Amino acid sequence: MRNVTIVGSGPAGLTAAIYAARANLQPLLFEGHEPGGQLTLTSTVENFPGFPDGILGPELMESMKLQALRFGTEIIQASVERADLSQRPLRLWSEDREYATRTLIIATGASANLLGLESEKRLLGHGVSTCATCDGFFFRGQEVAVVGGGDSALEEGIFLTRYARRVHLIHRRDKLRASKILQERALRNDKIQFHWNTILEEILDNGQGKVGGLRLRNTGNGSPPYDMPVDGIFVAIGHQPNTRIFQGQLELDEVGYVLTRGGSLTSVEGVFVAGDAHDSRYRQAITAAGSGCRAAIDAEKYLETLHER
């Protein structure tokens, strides 16, 4: 029987582990299929407090992991495949083993939707990004592209105009899905150039392992594919929260984000959530870490009420 079990090993999960371990709750943490979360796919992180010269994403996550281990967290290098939140204790299954826990912290994060190109995967973190707030600064005075046509794409594009010389917004249709106010802002921004009815066929390497351009095709005029030089590309076609195993057991929104009832509390007693599994707005390492702290404290307080019963 565990007091606290944490599913996920990004900033939210590891921060929750640090706090729970320091509270002498001996937490168990499942790393999941992507140990360290999305930060392990990035290069330099410059917006996490305490590192004036920046820090490599994998290095930051390794430091968090070592800190969690230092205080007594048990870490299992596996994913949770199934959960039963309908009974007490809560039950989880991983690699044919069953685990029982009094509280559960869901920190499974969300995965950015990608285009599925081999070059996109290969150059991720080397000019391909899914977060303008995280990486826009690195493209000061350069030309970048954004793929998408919804609110996220226009928000990313508008944000990037603070740094980039020009932002090419690539959309496969001739109309945007974004809200009217964002459309108006983007359309009147002279730094944003729209490429309508255009699909991205390939991300081109500059010969040094970084993005050097894009191969595009206009589906409206039937013209052959053409190459456009850019220094970076931001894929903004949405995120998918990694909450599939909790469907039907927790209240989720239409996309799959966990709904909260004040702080980190979910619709099931003893189950808490942290990080991008419930945060569709900020999606930053620092906000994920903060919510991990909150979830651990909420779990600790809940365990105290169990003791009092």
Active-site entry in 53, 84, 96, 131 = 131
Query: Mind spelling out the 3-state secondary structure of 121-177?
Result: HHCECCCEECCHHHHHHHHCCCEEEEECCCHHHHHHHHHHCCCCCEEEEECCCCCCC
**Comparing C-alpha atoms, which of 144, 158, 149 is closest to residue 203?**
144
Residue 293 is a catalytic residue: no
Which residue matches tokens 């168990």?
A: 28
Q: Which of 84, 135, 190, 253 is catalytic?
A: 135
Query: Is 134 an active-site residue?
Result: yes
At 182, the amino acid letter reads L
Task: Out of 53, 134, 227, 231, pick the active-site residue.
Answer: 134
For residues 93 and 100, give the distance between their C-alpha atoms in angstroms, rounded to a whole number. 9
| Rounded Cα gap, residues 61 and 65, in angstroms | 6
- Of 214, 219, 220, nearest to 235 by C-alpha is 214
CB atoms inside a 10 Å sphere around CB 173: 12
- Render 5-45 in DSSP notation, one character per residue: EEE--SHHHHHHHHHHHHTT---EEE--SSTTGGGGG-SEE
Give catalytic residues, as residue numbers.
131, 134-135
